């Protein structure tokens, strides 16, 4: 039926003539890639709108390779990714701009290739929808148990984004190329663009809100177009109760004075003051002195507000009247004026904020609280806002509004992007006082906080369950003995029915050497029960649960984990675990991924910064893996240990969530890194009883934690639950308040 519809709606298309621009050279009757990727200009009638792209370059001995078609429409440029098959062909459906100036083809493939044959055929939206839906429907029909969930997701997408949202979702399924923000332009058009009906609803709801905002702006010779757009973004706010407090710190460009004075004359809500030769802190305080609103928020003169930004803040603040600070998500404005690089932030995350100023913009702070704290301080040039944010948020009365409220302009020279590393460290140190030591972090604009360990250091019990598998256990234990700098620990081996003579001999050797105790657990495998038995045997103030397939590779791993576990406000502490190929196995646990939970940044390279630096800095997480978990023994016992009805799966997630219910924060740190030779001592869940047990554990987790699994405060409802790479959610899980 779908093929009949496609044939009925087929439109005309055309061949495009490729001309080699760079990256390849003639090689007999073919081309040879020399300095790839090879780039071609495509000539012929320029297509637009929904199209089918058909590419053929011929087979070669090289790898399958990638390609992309680049459509230039002036201000708007669209890149269409293509995955080449071994026979040198590719076909995909794409959405091009309405007016395409030129097309280029980029080929990233080794070996010889034929001159590309490129055909781009225009489609009606109905044919495009049919082509995009066919593979999705085919996959679901092969997995009929997923049809109810897929149908519900389709309805949510239709409800939130209309037909445009459904088409964007289908296109995302077709073309997703591994980039976390792949398809953001389509996503934004479908789920983040305000319609006229939305504006009517927002204005009606805004009429019943009374929160007043004062926006603070310090200006000095800002480019005319940027400043004009910043001012227009304030004046076009759908929420009316705002005040814009501008201080010009000595602009010499005539356009700045003209723009500011004109705006102040035209709108009485704009207050202007001229102050020459003052620094950023004094300028911010001068604009603060003009403010009369309930909340103040800084707007850089190069940046822009989303038109519903203040309305969304007001809705949330009036629903939570004790809030001192509220912040939203943001994205960037690139050189072509497009919105790119969305930053979908977690909810309040103190350890992440100490590591990196993830809040930044748009951040609204209660004016009375700001004034009581003395406003912006001059001793932290370039980091005045970061300093104030940490002081205002100290008591934790913080709200996160998970919508893009602010657009930051790339290349505009915002001070936050160029903070002196030393100044930002001083900000965090001032915030910490003498409780810990702040230092420069592993990446620009990051910090590492080193927490003290008392002298004498507390005893730590390393609990290692095992069954046979001497080579794995020996690698684990001997690496700990060899590589661990922290000295005051005991090793407790929990032997779960080992029978291998080799393993039993190693147990005897460990006990004879006096480096480990071996405790027999003579019951069927139950990960929760085994660890609970180990903790009962532990003598340490801190217990560290370790899989037997770990390998210690750096001396400071245990000291780092213990230093956090001893903090009274912290519960479970997780480490960064790498696969033997040095890609990430565990970067903290994200709730809801795959239905229950997944590991953040899984399979990303060891030194990859991750999503907005989060793979390289310490932060609060809802849960961490028990493959390497440290916690105070008293806390472990106080929450009842691991739930033994969760024998294999999700027991660590359940445990961490119960620890979180006590008011303690769970924490993940990349500064404790180990190799994880994952799960080699237990068989796969491939028998009927094991599958039944696994599904029972899933049902138990949903019954107990279903209310939080889809809304992890350390994640964001605009990010996917289908993968562990912080990609966009199609559709997002946010509810619009209008």
Q: What is the DSSP letter of 640?
A: T
Pairing of strands 66-73, 89-96: unpaired
Residue 403: pLDDT band by 50, 70, 90 thresholds? very high
Instruction: Give the range with max mean pLDDT: 44-48, 184-188, 657-661.
Output: 657-661
Q: What separation in angstroms does the CA of 377 have from each of 84, 183, 216, 347, 435?
A: 56, 41, 15, 26, 22
Residues found in the chain: 738
Write down the pLDDT at residue 527: 95
Angle at 54 between CA 51 and CA 55, to 5 degrees: 140
Q: How far apart are CA 210 and CA 591, in angstroms?
A: 36
Q: Which fold has domain 460-709?
A: Spore Coat Polysaccharide Biosynthesis Protein SpsA; Chain A (3.90.550)
Distances from the Cα of 148 to the Cαs of 141, 155, 156, 703, in angstroms? 11, 11, 12, 19
pLDDT at 665 over 80: yes
End-to-end, the C-alpha distance of the chain in Å comes to 40
On the question of pLDDT at 320 being above 70, the answer is yes
Round to whole Å and give the CA distance between 11 and 624. Answer: 53
640-to-66, 285, 529, 545 alpha-carbon distances in Å: 52, 51, 11, 15
Give the span between the Cα atoms of 60 and 332, in whole angstroms: 40
Record the tokens describing residue 276, joined without a space. Answer: 């020459």
pLDDT at residue 79 tops 90: no
Using alpha carbons, select from 129, 302, 311 the residue that is nearest to residue 217.
302
With residue 655 as reference, give the H or E element that holds it. helix 651-660
As given in the structure block, the two tokens for residue 62 are 């090289």
Q: What's the angle, vertex CA 181, arms to CA 179 and CA 187, rounded to 5?
A: 135
Q: Which residue ranges does the chain devote to CATH 3.90.550.10? A: 209-447, 460-709
Domain range 209-447, CATH architecture:
Alpha-Beta Complex (3.90)
Q: How far apart are CA 554 and CA 67, in angstroms?
A: 41
Q: What is the pLDDT of residue 20?
A: 85
**DSSP per position, 175-214:** H--S-TTTTHHHHHHHHTPPPHHHHHHHHHHHTT----EE
Contacts 24+ apart (CB under 8 A), 262-269: 263/231, 263/235, 267/235, 269/242, 269/243, 269/244
How does pLDDT run across 457-507, given as a tens digit for each residue?
A: 999 999 999 999 999 999 999 999 999 999 999 999 999 999 999 999 999
Dihedral, 388, 389, 395, 400 alpha carbons, nearest 10:
160
Residue 416's pLDDT is what? Answer: 43
Per-residue pLDDT tens over the stretch 126-176: 777 776 776 666 655 655 655 566 666 666 666 666 665 666 656 555 555
Please give the distance of CA 618 from its chain centroid, rounded to a whole number.
14
Label the pairing between strands 49-56 and 117-122. Answer: antiparallel
Which of the pair, 277 or 180, is modelled with greater confidence?
277
> For position 2, what pLDDT does the model report?
46
Rounded distance between C-alpha atoms, residue 540 and residue 489, angstroms:
8
Which residues pair with residue 17 across a beta bridge?
43
Whether residue 682 has pLDDT greater than 60: no
Helices 2-9, 125-142: axis angle to 10 degrees equals: 170
CA–CA dist 193, 603 (Å, integer): 33
Taking a C-beta distance cutoff of 8 angstroms, is the pair 654, 646 a contact? yes
Cα distance between residue 324 and residue 567, in whole Å: 25
Q: What is the pLDDT of residues 7-21, one digit of tens each?
A: 434 444 578 888 888
Confidence of residue 122 (pLDDT cuts 50, 70, 90): confident
**190 and 218 Cβ atoms separated by less than 8 Å:** no
Dihedral sign for Cα atoms in the order 154, 155, 161, 164 = positive
Phi-psi region of 227 (alpha: psi -120 to 50; beta: other; left: phi over 0): alpha
Compute CA distances 84 → 37, 110, 554, 598, whole Å: 14, 12, 41, 30
Q: Round to whole Å and give the CA distance between 193 and 188.
A: 6
State how far the Cα of 124 lies from the Cα of 127, in Å rounded to an integer: 5
Beta strands in 212-357 (DSSP E): 213-219, 242-248, 270-274, 295-298, 304-305, 325-333, 339-343
Task: Look at residue 312 and give its three-state secondary structure.
Answer: helix
With bands split at pLDDT 50, 70 and 90, how would you rate the model's confidence at 529?
very high
Q: How far apart are CA 389 and CA 396, in angstroms?
A: 11
Which CATH code of 2.60.120.260, 3.90.930.12, 3.30.70.2190, 1.10.10.10 fits the domain covering 10-123? Answer: 2.60.120.260
Q: What is the pLDDT of residue 189?
A: 83
Buried b (16+ CB within 10 A) or exposed e, 643-663: beebbebbbbbbbbbbbbeee
- Work out the average pLDDT over 551-565: 98
Q: What tens digit of pLDDT does each residue of 691-736 get? A: 777 788 888 899 999 889 989 999 999 999 988 999 999 889 998 9
Phi (first) and psi of residue 656, to 5 degrees: -65, -40
Is the pLDDT score of 626 beyond 70? yes
Other Cβ atoms closer than 10 A to 592: 23
> For the chain, what is the mean pLDDT?
87
């Amino acid at each position: 039926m779908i093929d009949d519809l496609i044939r009925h709606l087929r439109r005309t298309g055309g061949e495009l003539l490729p001309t080699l621009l760079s990256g390849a050279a003639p090689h007999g009757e073919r081309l040879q890639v020399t300095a790839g990727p090879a780039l071609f200009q495509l000539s012929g009638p320029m297509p637009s709108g929904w199209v089918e792209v058909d590419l053929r370059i011929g087979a070669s001995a090289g790898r399958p390779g990638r390609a992309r078609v680049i459509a230039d429409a002036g201000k708007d440029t669209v890149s269409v990714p293509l995955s080449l098959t071994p026979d040198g062909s590719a076909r995909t459906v794409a959405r091009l701009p309405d007016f395409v100036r030129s097309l280029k083809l980029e080929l990233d493939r080794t070996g010889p290739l034929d001159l590309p044959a490129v055909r781009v055929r225009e489609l009606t939206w109905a044919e495009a929808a049919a082509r995009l839906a066919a593979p999705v429907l085919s996959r679901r029909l092969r997995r009929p148990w997923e049809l109810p969930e897929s149908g519900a997701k389709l309805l949510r997408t239709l409800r939130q984004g209309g037909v445009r949202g459904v088409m964007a979702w289908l296109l995302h399924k077709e073309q997703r190329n591994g980039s976390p923000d792949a398809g953001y332009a389509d996503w934004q058009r479908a789920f983040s663009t305000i319609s006229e009906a939305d504006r009517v609803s927002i204005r009606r709801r805004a009429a019943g809100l009374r929160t007043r905002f004062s926006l603070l702006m310090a200006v000095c010779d800002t480019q005319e177009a940027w400043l004009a757009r910043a001012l227009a973004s304030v004046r076009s706010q759908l929420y009316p109760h705002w005040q814009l407090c501008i201080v010009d710190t000595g602009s010499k460009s005539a356009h700045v004075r003209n723009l500011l004075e004109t705006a102040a004359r035209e709108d009485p809500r704009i207050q202007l003051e001229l102050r020459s030769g003052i620094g950023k802190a004094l300028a911010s305080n001068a604009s603060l002195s003009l403010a009369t609103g309930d909340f103040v928020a800084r707007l850089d003169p190069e940046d822009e507000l989303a038109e519903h930004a203040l309305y969304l803040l007001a809705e949330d603040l009036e629903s939570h009247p004790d809030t001192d600070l509220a912040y939203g998500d943001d994205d960037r404005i690139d050189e072509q004026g497009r919105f790119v690089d969305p930053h979908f932030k977690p909810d309040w995350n103190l350890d992440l904020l100490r590591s990196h100023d993830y809040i930044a913009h748009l951040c609204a702070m209660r004016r009375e609280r700001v004034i009581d704290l003395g406003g912006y301080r001059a001793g932290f040039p370039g980091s005045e806002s970061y300093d104030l944010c940490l002081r205002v948020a100290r008591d934790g009365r913080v709200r996160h509004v998970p919508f893009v409220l602010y657009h930051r302009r790339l290349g505009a020279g915002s001070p936050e992007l160029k903070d002196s590393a030393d100044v930002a460290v001083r900000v965090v140190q001032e915030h910490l006082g003498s409780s810990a030591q702040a230092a420069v972090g592993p990446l620009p604009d990051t910090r590492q906080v080193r927490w003290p360990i008392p002298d004498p250091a507390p005893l730590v019990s390393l609990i290692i369950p095992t069954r046979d598998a001497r080579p794995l256990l020996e690698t684990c234990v001997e690496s700990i003995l060899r590589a661990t700098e922290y000295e005051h620990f005991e090793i407790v081996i929990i032997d779960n029915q080992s029978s291998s003579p080799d393993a039993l001999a190693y147990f005897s050797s460990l006990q004879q050497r006096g480096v480990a105790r071996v405790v027999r657990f003579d019951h069927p495998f139950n990960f929760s029960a085994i660890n609970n038995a180990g903790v009962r045997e532990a003598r340490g103030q801190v217990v560290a649960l370790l899989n037997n397939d770990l390998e210690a590779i750096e001396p400071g791993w245990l000291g780092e984990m213990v230093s956090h576990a001893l903090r009274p406000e912290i519960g479970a502490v997780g480490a960064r675990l790498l696969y033997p190929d040095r890609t990430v196995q565990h970067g903290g646990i994200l709730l809801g991924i795959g239905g229950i939970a997944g590991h953040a940044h899984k399979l990303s390279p060891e030194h990859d910064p991750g999503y907005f630096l989060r793979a390289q800095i310490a932060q609060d997480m809802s849960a961490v893996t028990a493959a390497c978990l440290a916690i105070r023994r008293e806390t472990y016992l106080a929450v009842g240990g691991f739930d033994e009805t969760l024998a294999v799966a999700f027991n660590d997630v359940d445990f961490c969530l119960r620890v979180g219910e006590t008011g303690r924060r769970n924490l993940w740190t990349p500064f404790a890194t180990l190799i994880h030779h994952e799960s080699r001592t237990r068989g796969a869940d491939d028998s009927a009883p094991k599958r039944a047990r696994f599904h029972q554990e899933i049902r138990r987790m949903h019954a107990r934690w279903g209310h939080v699994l889809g809304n992890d405060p350390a994640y964001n409802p605009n990010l996917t639950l289908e993968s562990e790479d912080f990609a966009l959610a199609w559709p997002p899980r946010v509810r619009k308040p209008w």
